[in-house]
Amino acid sequence: MADTTLDTRLDGVVGGRTAKALERGFGLRTVGDLVWHLPRRYSERGELTPLLGLPVGEHVTVLAQVLDVRSRQMQRGGKLLEARITDGVGSLQLTFFNQAWRANELVAGARGIFAGKVSEYRGQLQLQHPDYELFEKHRDPSETEGLTPEASEMLDQAAALAYSERPVPIYPATSQLPSWTIGHAVALALDTLKAAGGIWDTLPFELRESEGVLDLEQALELVHRPAKRGDWQRARDSLRFREAFELQLALLDRRQRAHRLPGTARARVAEGLLAEFDRGLPFELTGEQAEAGEAIASEIADIRPMHRLLQGEVGSGKTVVALRAMLQVAEDSGQSALLAPTEVLAAQHFRSVVETLGPALTEQLHPVLLTSKMPVAERRRSLLALASGQARIAIGTHALLSEGVTFFDLGLIVVDEQHRFGVEQREALRLKGTNPHVLAMTATPIPRTVALTVFGDLETTFIRRVPPGRQGITTFAVPVHERPKWAERAWLRALEEVAAGRQVYVVCPAISASKREDGDAEFDPALADSEGSGAAAPPLASVEQTMAELGERADYAGIRVAALTGAMKSDEKDRVMRAFSAGEIDVLVATTVIEVGVNVPNASTMIVRDAERFGVSQLHQLRGRVGRGELPGLCLLLTNAEQGSVARERVEAVAETSDGFDLAERDLELRREGDILGTAQSGGRSTLRLLRVTEHGELIEHARELAAYLLRRDPLLESAPLLAQQLAEEEKQRNLDNLAKS
Ligand code: ADP
Ligand code: MG
């Protein structure tokens, strides 16, 4: 196979059966996929895997030594071979039926790796019919041919030593594909690649030199076939560097390329719509709002499309900044589209835009709402107004992305709560115009390294302070089981607020005992954010149950309580939300449908039930619903999480930290794995293998600098043609994916 490359399909290299199993088990299709399927850990041949306490019912791979072997006749016929393997302390029984010949291989003292499902029989842990591979034939006998016995012995010893130092890679395996079968397939792939001329390294040589990074072929060789422990560590470091660098280069390159595509400049006009709007604003812009507005205004006035991320605390007033940008575009007869993650939020944005614009500007700009649950006639009116260019502002949900939506002249895209969307969705909307300007907004503070990874193709502006006059929020964690009196106090406190003319939110993680908040197709199931729990977890507090509980309380008899969930019809949701805004509902029992952006300044208190079931940033967002006006906010996080558990720590972190950016950093520390990227992950390869934004912040920053430096010196990457080609291919693939999705 002289032409084998990383793109070659696996079946021609490792055989059809193994290829099929690799695809089914791990989605591996090409040689490149396989050589990037990295060992999960390494065992040392000299070190045996502890056998005590192996989990019954699980598939394990252990490194052990054969202790003894017995064969016996079964009463009902057939022969049973029993071998015991040991780690020197514990032992594990291997059983084989009618496979007496295995006694020739499984001799006392032999070492190897054994894999199978752990079961228990009469108090003894065992593996029935395990797969195994023994470490034996470590030297080719032909090597010693013609040597003196002494020389041969010396060679034997040297080989044995080298062999005993060689770590054993343990791959993520399935029952069909034991670790060593994967190892053999990888070895075959590596050897075939080498025979076909080797693996081309796309990284510039000087960069590898200066960073001390191993050549790609060598790194892959050592990560899969290390000769000693240091090998795989160096190899992993090198591969991780590559991931970080390639990701940052892809992001920066994309940003640079987006800049080169000509968009439409929307000039700033001194006495126009924007000036009229500013005059009507009931408040002064804060310094940060004005600054952000300034940066955005000059970018929109440029022919190069803007790609900016506006990060600001909940309630920091991002919407008005976005609306001002829309006015600049509208001045030039251009259209703007505001994409919101939920129907509730889209509807609220629509109302507040109409209100903030005032009657005259509203008539002139004709803002329209577009969601998939709107009545058909209304929806058609919106679509027409957008296609004709009459409507200069569109506000909507994912419905904006659908095929039937066309714009006359889409000049600006505003994505609210950007973290709830993937890059593809931003792209799908972008394709409805000619390189429109993009303003992404997020109220979920993102630690810098995450921002670099997830939004690395955007420039970032911060609004760190909320407008003056806000009273802020006080948050308490209330452990329900430990302090039942405190929990009861929470419900009384809510009553006191209502008596004082204020309103209260109660937030539950579920709609009913059997239904979580995922019924709404337009609702991003952010609940997945809360850590998955075991099957034995108690039922979640639900809206239904809370409504029933409050209904039974005598002290809540005169209180106007209503429910709001994603399972309700959209006009019903809208009606409830309006009633709550108008002060006609005292206590709103809801799911996370009220999470983002909902703005009712008279709401002063929030009670969150089973708070540990929400993510940290989600809790921070939720509590941002209160304390928005002149009233101080109070947030009570009811929890059943045990003291000292990570779940409890997360709830307590939210109670202790009111600064969203600090909280985001603490959240990052509390999370172990990089599940932060989620659907928002962008850039280079579709998944990161070794790079963890939670752990490798410094590396990411460093890689960013190196990538930026390279692009500054050589924007077209003429000095690194292979790298340029790789980037172009990835970008092409991504565009194809986007086209397929839009
Ligand atoms: P977010 O950043 O969470 O989207 P919003 O844009 O919804 O915040 O703003 C929250 C509230 O603050 C709105 O009622 C808005 O009218 C108000 N607001 C925005 N800017 C100012 C300001 N400079 N001074 C006073 N109130 C402001
Ligand atoms: Mg908002």
Handedness of CA 615, 620, 621, 625 (dihedral sign): positive
Same fold, 45-166 and 273-300+317-442: no
Q: Is the pLDDT of residue 677 over 80?
A: no
Overall average pLDDT of the 344-349 stretch: 86
HSE toward the beta carbon, residue 9, CA cutoff 13 A: 7
What is the three-class DSSP state of 271?
coil
What is the three-class DSSP state of 468?
coil
Give 599 Cα–ligand 1 centroid separation in angstroms.
9
Ligand 1 atom with least separation from CA of 601: 14
Query: Which of 319, 470, 630 has most ligand 1 atoms within 8 Å of CB, for mutation?
Result: 319
Model pTM score: 0.65
Alpha-carbon distance 278 to 283, whole Å? 9
Read off the pLDDT band of 164 (50, 70, 90): low
Overall average pLDDT of the 610-635 stretch: 86
- Please report, for the chain, the start and end positions of each structural domain, with discontinuous segments joined by +: 45-166, 273-300+317-442, 473-657
Q: What is the pLDDT of residue 19?
A: 94
* CA 591 from centroid of its chain's CA atoms: 22
Q: pLDDT tens across 426-435, in order?
A: 888 999 999 9
Give 313 Cα–ligand 2 centroid separation in angstroms.
9
In sequence order, the β-bridge partners of residue 70 are: 82
Say which CATH topology domain 273-300+317-442 has: Rossmann fold (3.40.50)
Residues touching ligand 1 (Cβ under 6 Å) are: 283-286, 289, 312, 314-320, 443, 467, 597, 599
Which is more confidently placed, 528 or 302? Answer: 302
* Residues surrounding ion ligand 2 at CB below 5 Å: 597
Q: Number of H helices and number of E strands within the chain?
A: 23, 23
What is the three-class DSSP state of 261?
coil
Which is more confidently placed, 597 or 489? Answer: 489
Q: Is the pLDDT of residue 355 over 60?
A: yes
| Dihedral-angle region of residue 393 (phi above 0 means left; psi in -120 to 50 means alpha; beta otherwise) | beta
Angle between helix 273-280 and helix 318-331 axes, rounded to 10 deg: 150
176-179 long-range CB contacts below 8 Å, 24 or more apart? 176/21, 176/24, 176/25, 177/18, 177/21, 177/22, 177/25, 178/61, 178/115, 178/131, 178/133, 179/61, 179/113, 179/115
Closest to 42 measured CA to CA, from 319, 228, 253, 307:
228
Read off the pLDDT band of 738 (50, 70, 90): very low
Q: What is the pLDDT of residue 565?
A: 92
Q: Please answer whether residues 619 and 654 qualify as being in contact, where contact means their C-beta atoms are separated by less than 8 angstroms.
A: yes
Alpha-carbon distance 319 to 351, whole Å? 12
In sequence order, the β-bridge partners of residue 561 are: 587
Overall average pLDDT of the 470-499 stretch: 92
Residue 476 sits at φ, ψ, to 5 deg, of -125, 140
Give 286 Cα–ligand 1 centroid separation in angstroms.
10
Ligand 1 atom with least separation from CA of 284: 23
Give 314 Cα–ligand 1 centroid separation in angstroms.
9
Q: Please answer whether residues 419 and 340 qualify as being in contact, where contact means their C-beta atoms are separated by less than 8 angstroms.
A: no
Give 57 Cα–ligand 2 centroid separation in angstroms.
48
* CA 579 from centroid of its chain's CA atoms: 36
Read off the pLDDT band of 514 (50, 70, 90): confident
Q: What is the pLDDT of residue 637?
A: 97
Overall average pLDDT of the 292-306 stretch: 95
Nearest alpha carbon, ligand 1 atom 10: 315
Please tell me the number of the ligand nearest to residue 340's CA. Answer: 2
Q: What is the pLDDT of residue 257?
A: 82
Please tell me the number of the ligand nearest to residue 312's CA. Answer: 1
Give 314 Cα–ligand 2 centroid separation in angstroms.
7
Query: b/e per residue, 457-467, with b = 16+ CB within 10 A?
Result: bbebbbbeebb
Q: What is the pLDDT of residue 90?
A: 84
Nearest alpha carbon, ligand 1 atom 3: 315
Contacts of 5 (CB under 8 A, 6+ apart): 31, 32, 193, 196
Q: pLDDT tens across 93-136, in order?
A: 999 998 888 988 899 888 888 888 889 888 888 999 888 888 76
Which is more confidently placed, 618 or 308? Answer: 308
Read off the pLDDT band of 686 (50, 70, 90): very low
**Hey, what amino acid is at 467?**
P
Q: What is the pLDDT of residue 369?
A: 96
Give 317 Cα–ligand 2 centroid separation in angstroms.
7
Name the superfamily (CATH) of residues 473-657.
P-loop containing nucleotide triphosphate hydrolases (3.40.50.300)
Overall average pLDDT of the 144-167 stretch: 68
Please tell me the number of the ligand nearest to residue 462's CA. Answer: 1
Give 413 Cα–ligand 2 centroid separation in angstroms.
15
Q: What is the pLDDT of residue 526?
A: 30
Alpha-carbon distance 355 to 683, whole Å? 39
Please tell me the number of the ligand nearest to residue 283's CA. Answer: 1
The number of residues in the chain equals: 742
Q: What is the pLDDT of residue 469?
A: 75
Contacts of 16 (CB under 8 A, 6+ apart): none
Alpha-carbon distance 45 to 284, whole Å? 70
488-495 long-range CB contacts below 8 Å, 24 or more apart? 490/607, 490/636, 490/638, 491/553, 491/607, 492/555, 493/605, 493/634, 493/636, 494/587, 494/605, 494/607, 495/555, 495/556, 495/559
Q: Please answer whether residues 511 and 567 qualify as being in contact, where contact means their C-beta atoms are separated by less than 8 angstroms.
A: yes
Q: pLDDT tens across 139-155, in order?
A: 555 655 677 777 766 76
- Average pLDDT, rounded, for the chain: 85
Alpha-carbon distance 444 to 416, whole Å? 11
Average the pLDDT over each of 238-242, 308-312, 545-549 and give the range with the smallest value: 308-312
What is the three-class DSSP state of 490?
helix
Alpha-carbon distance 720 to 727, whole Å? 11
Overall average pLDDT of the 327-347 stretch: 92
Ligand 1 atom with least separation from CA of 312: 2
Nearest alpha carbon, ligand 1 atom 17: 317
Ligand 1 atom with least separation from CA of 463: 2
| Percentage of the chain exceeding pLDDT 70 | 87
Nearest alpha carbon, ligand 1 atom 19: 317
Read off the pLDDT band of 530 (50, 70, 90): very low
Give 309 Cα–ligand 2 centroid separation in angstroms.
13
| H runs (alpha helix) in 532-589 | 543-552, 570-581
Q: Please answer whether residues 616 and 531 qualify as being in contact, where contact means their C-beta atoms are separated by less than 8 angstroms.
A: no
Q: Please answer whether residues 735 and 257 qualify as being in contact, where contact means their C-beta atoms are separated by less than 8 angstroms.
A: no
Q: What is the pLDDT of residue 639?
A: 95
Q: What is the pLDDT of residue 74?
A: 85
Residue 110 sits at φ, ψ, to 5 deg, of -70, 140
Handedness of CA 545, 551, 553, 555 (dihedral sign): positive
Query: Which of 442, 599, 623 has most ligand 1 atoms within 8 Å of CB, for mutation?
Result: 599
What is the three-class DSSP state of 240?
helix
Overall average pLDDT of the 672-685 stretch: 34
Q: Is the pLDDT of residue 476 over 80?
A: yes
Which is more confidently placed, 170 or 521? Answer: 170
Q: pLDDT tens across 183-235, in order?
A: 999 999 999 999 998 898 999 999 999 999 999 999 999 999 998 888 999 99
Nearest alpha carbon, ligand 1 atom 26: 467
Residue 395 sits at φ, ψ, to 5 deg, of -125, 130
Q: Is the pLDDT of residue 175 over 90?
A: no
Q: Please answer whether residues 561 and 547 qualify as being in contact, where contact means their C-beta atoms are separated by less than 8 angstroms.
A: yes
Q: What is the pLDDT of residue 242?
A: 94
Q: What is the pLDDT of residue 264?
A: 94
- Strands across the sheet containing 459-463: 368-370, 393-396, 335-339, 410-415, 437-442, 307-312, 459-463
Give 345 Cα–ligand 2 centroid separation in angstroms.
8
Read off the pLDDT band of 730 (50, 70, 90): confident
Overall average pLDDT of the 295-318 stretch: 90
Please tell me the number of the ligand nearest to residue 322's CA. Answer: 1
Alpha-carbon distance 171 to 184, whole Å? 11
Name the superfamily (CATH) of residues 45-166.
Nucleic acid-binding proteins (2.40.50.140)
Q: Please answer whether residues 397 and 346 qualify as being in contact, where contact means their C-beta atoms are separated by less than 8 angstroms.
A: yes
Q: What is the pLDDT of residue 525?
A: 29
Q: Is the pLDDT of residue 9 over 50?
A: yes
Read off the pLDDT band of 687 (50, 70, 90): low
Give 129 Cα–ligand 2 centroid separation in angstroms.
59
Q: What is the pLDDT of residue 141?
A: 55
Which is more confidently placed, 391 or 676? Answer: 391
Nearest alpha carbon, ligand 1 atom 5: 317
| Dihedral-angle region of residue 540 (phi above 0 means left; psi in -120 to 50 means alpha; beta otherwise) | beta
Average the pLDDT over each of 279-288, 504-513, 610-619 and give the range with the smallest value: 610-619
Please tell me the number of the ligand nearest to residue 289's CA. Answer: 1
Alpha-carbon distance 221 to 180, whole Å? 16
Contacts of 427 (CB under 8 A, 6+ apart): 738, 742
Q: What is the pLDDT of residue 656?
A: 92
Q: Is the pLDDT of residue 439 over 90?
A: yes
